[in-house]
Structure 1
Amino acid sequence: MSEPSTSEEPVPPSPPRRRLWPWVLLMIAVLLALAAGAVSAVLSHRISAEGSRTVHIRYEVTGTAEDVTLTYSTWRDKELSTGRLTLRSLPWAGELDTRGFMSGGSFVVRLGRSGGEVACAVTVDDGTHRTARASGAFATARCDGF
């Protein structure tokens, strides 16, 4: 009788499993980068188109105040600047045609020491319209975001 063999043959190790999750993460990162590039290209085109069209803006102030300071946005060569004007009587209206207009303009009407009442209005040719009212000494009416 022979003795039973106690040695087992070694089992070859299984090949390492390839991990799938790094590839999935890489694909997600690539897709996000492509999406960001597409959004950037669309926004760039839209901003360029917006900056090249001519826009007509009308500013108006009405009321009873006799000491009023106006501060308003102007656009020259695609740069935002501010205009300032002091009035002793109302009504007042001002208009300008500009290129390079970007949304976010501001029109502020500040009453002086003598107070009174004012109403401001801004109209942009695409239909954007903002209005505000103020009364009393040193009060402010703001027509912003046009």
Structure 2
Amino acid sequence: MGERNPDGAVEAVPCGRRRWPWVLLVVVLALATGGAVAVELVAGALSREGTEPRRIGYRVTGTAKDVTVTYPTWHDGDLATARLRLRTLPWAAETRTRGFMSGGSLDVALGASGGEVACAVTVDDGTVRTATASGAFATASCDGF
């Protein structure tokens, strides 16, 4: 608690240095180090994914006789968009790319004559996205692959 001085007043006796600033510093450094390790792990995974070949398969089926198909393609690492006007279905295509990709979209727009369509996208025979549409000027979008 304290000691009494010759006047009878109580004086505080220092207990030593405060420890909480050091504890706080250690906690902050541990959190920063953990965050840096997490960022490095994610960056490493994306880097490895950036060199892996990917095979993207597109397929459109249905009864429609007038459709416009729009889909992404990759040539030497560059993204391009292909657009086709089809009078008969089914239709299928495949493209290859290297690396991480996200947000692609296969869009199938029906013309004035309507009909029904279904689209499907596969990535390396996995990740399947599907959609359907029917009626004049309707659109089926298989996106997010």
CA-atom RMSD in angstroms = 2.2
The runs of at least 4 consecutive aligned structure 1 residues that moved more than 6 Å come to none
Q: Which runs of 5+ in 2 are unaligned?
A: 1-5
How far apart are the structure 2 equivalents of 1:20 and 1:111? 71
Structure 1's 135 and 47: CA in aligned 2 closer, same or farther, altered over 3 A? same
Report if the CA contact (8 A) 2:46-2:100 is conserved.
Answer: no
Contact 1:71 1:82 (C-alpha < 8 Å) held by counterparts: yes
Between 136-145 and 17-26, report the one with greater CA deviation: 17-26
Matches within 5 A, 1:33-112: 33-112=32-111
For 1:81 and 1:52, locate their aligned partners in 2 and report how far apart those are by CA, in whole Å: 19
- What amino acid maps onto 2:51 in structure 1? S
Is 1:117 equivalent to 2:116 in the alignment? Answer: yes
Higher strand share: 2
Distance 1:125 1:64, change over 3 A: same
How many residue pairs get matched? 140
Rg larger in structure:
1
14-23 or 42-51, larger mean C-alpha shift: 14-23
Give me the whole-angstrom Cα distance separating, in 2, the residues matched to 1:64 and 1:31.
61
**Length-normalised TM-score, structure 2:** 0.83
Shift of 1:83: 2.5
Q: How does 1:16-31 map to 2 (within 5 A)?
A: 18-31=17-30
Same amino acid, percent of matched pairs: 59
